[in-house]
Amino acid sequence: MFCDRAEIFVKAGNGGGGGLSFLHEKYREFGGPDGGDGGDGGNVIFRVDLSWNTLYYYKTNRKMAAQAGEMGKGRKKHGRNGDDLIVPVPIGTVVYNVETNEQIADLSVDGAEYVVAKGGEGGFGNAHFASSVRQTPKFAELGTPGEELTVRLELKLIADVGLVGLPNIGKSTFLSVVSSARPKIADYPFTTIIPNLGVVEGFGNNGFVIADMPGLIAGAAQGKGLGDEFLKHIERTRVIIHILNGTSDALEDDFDTINKELAEYSKDVATKPQILAVSQIDLLDDKQKAKVLKSAETIIKNHPKVFKFDKKPFLFSSITKIGVRELILEAGAELSRIPKKVEKKEVKVFTIADTRRSTFKVVPDGEDFIVTSERLEKFVQKTDFSNAHAVMRVYDIMTRMGVTKELTKKGAHFGTKIKILDKEVEFKG
């Protein structure tokens, strides 16, 4: 079943805690700390899979969680890293953060992938903290939690040419004639309730993908009929074949109805190059054909912004095949004039922070103080606050960073509560 929109919750794996262990062997009574580091949590990665063409799976599978890292073990054994979770999506999937409505990723090329949620870091085992002044560290770090968020997936079909027009004018029949696609066809409005894709080949060009969009009606951009759900699929097309019904007595009004909806949905869509095609000419006599041709030529003359290349209408019949080949050749020719857009992806560069210049902020909170610092907060996330030795390490880090000195300047005294994230540390003076 076709589905082009879904919301799912993604959770990267938590990092594994470091091991708290001391070596105990025969003849080695004081073997020392040997707790290994915890493994990193797995990432949640969205990846284009060409075998997928719908988001329907995520209508019932709405939670995606990567594997957590394992805890460090004795004998300095590193915990196993959690496996990444690969989430397959169809090409053309756009990922949004539901909370902020921010676009996270646009997976519009074969092989594209994006880390949507990053796994937590594994904590250091107590073997990591052994030194000449701390020979028996009785603490280890916790792993940090993996990122989690709710995302909205929207599928925007990847097609070169889009078919638009009023309902029940023969778009699906045309698609079935020029490609191997077999859309549902019947003699009533809104036969097409999902977009259909077909590959056009064998007409003397390199071939291209064509999409039949559900029929539009007046008010589609505001939610009437089916148009508001599927107008977005036209965004990625390079050329629009605008089909009018040759038996209609109001060709210009029909054309204006569709173009108005395109313009209200998106200015970019409204200015895409169009080819004007009039269907069902097998039902017209020569006099009627001449009248239709004149009306179509007038439409093109009055709309130079959308008819940018070969400024002539195409009259065709999907039943008799008259004019079909010429229309397809023109679509191929127009595509050759419009290069595919290569979207520039922002490349994020991650650098290691200079810990000697760690920044922090100290803000009074009544008689207490709130400290914010990206570096310090990371240490707090990894600290087991039920272990007094681990808490003391946080205080040592605050001292090395200059936080305790700043707290003294601002009036902190012995016993003052220092709040970092959701934890508290007592000021020692």
What's residue 349's pLDDT? 35
Q: What CA–CA distance (Å, rounded) separates 3 from 62?
A: 14
H helices of 9-93, in order, are 57-60
- Per-residue pLDDT reduced to its tens digit, 85-140: 999 998 889 999 999 999 999 898 888 999 999 999 999 999 988 887 777 899 99
Q: Which residues contact 27 (CB under 8 A, 6 or more apart)?
A: none
H/E run at residue 420: strand 417-420
CATH topology of domain 1-155: Spo0b-associated Gtp-binding Protein; Chain: A, (2.70.210)
| Portions of the chain given CATH number 3.40.50.300 | 161-337
Q: Where in the chain is the domain with CATH 3.30.300.350?
A: 355-426
Alpha-carbon separation of residue 355 from 307, 358, 360, 379, 423 (angstroms) = 60, 5, 11, 12, 22
What pLDDT does residue 206 have? 66
Fold assignment, 355-426? GMP Synthetase; Chain A, domain 3 (3.30.300)
β-bridge partners, 314? 277
Sequence-distant (≥ 6) Cβ neighbours of residue 135 within 8 angstroms: 32
CATH superfamily of 161-337: P-loop containing nucleotide triphosphate hydrolases (3.40.50.300)
Could you give the CA distance from residue 171 to residue 327 in angstroms, rounded to a whole number? 13
Calpha distance 181→172 (Å, rounded): 9
Q: What residue ranges of the chain are covered by domains with CATH 2.70.210.12?
A: 1-155
Beta bridge partners of 105: 95
C-alpha distances in Å from residue 390, one per residue of 69, 79, 379, 395: 21, 20, 10, 9
* Residue among 22, 123, 117, 130 nearest 70 (CA): 123
At which residue do the structure tokens 């605008």 appear?
A: 242
HSE (side-chain half, CA atoms, 13 Å) at 351: 3
Phi-psi region of 361 (alpha: psi -120 to 50; beta: other; left: phi over 0): beta
What stretches of 165-285 show up as alpha helix (H) in DSSP? 171-178, 227-230, 251-265, 267-270
Digitized pLDDT (tens) for each residue of the chain, 429 residues in all? 557 789 999 999 999 999 999 887 666 666 689 999 999 999 999 999 888 877 889 988 999 999 999 999 998 899 999 999 999 998 889 999 999 999 999 898 888 999 999 999 999 999 988 887 777 899 999 999 999 999 999 887 777 899 998 887 888 889 888 886 554 444 444 444 456 777 787 776 667 888 887 655 444 444 443 444 556 667 778 899 999 999 999 999 999 998 988 888 888 888 899 999 999 999 999 999 999 999 999 999 999 989 988 789 999 999 999 999 999 999 999 988 887 664 444 433 333 334 444 689 999 999 999 999 988 998 999 999 999 889 988 998 898 889 999 999 999 999 999 999 999 999 987
What's residue 182's pLDDT?
A: 55
Task: Give 118's contacts (C-beta < 8 A, 6+ positions apart).
Answer: 12, 43, 146, 147
Question: Which is nearest to 427 in space by CA: 364, 352, 346, 343?
Answer: 364
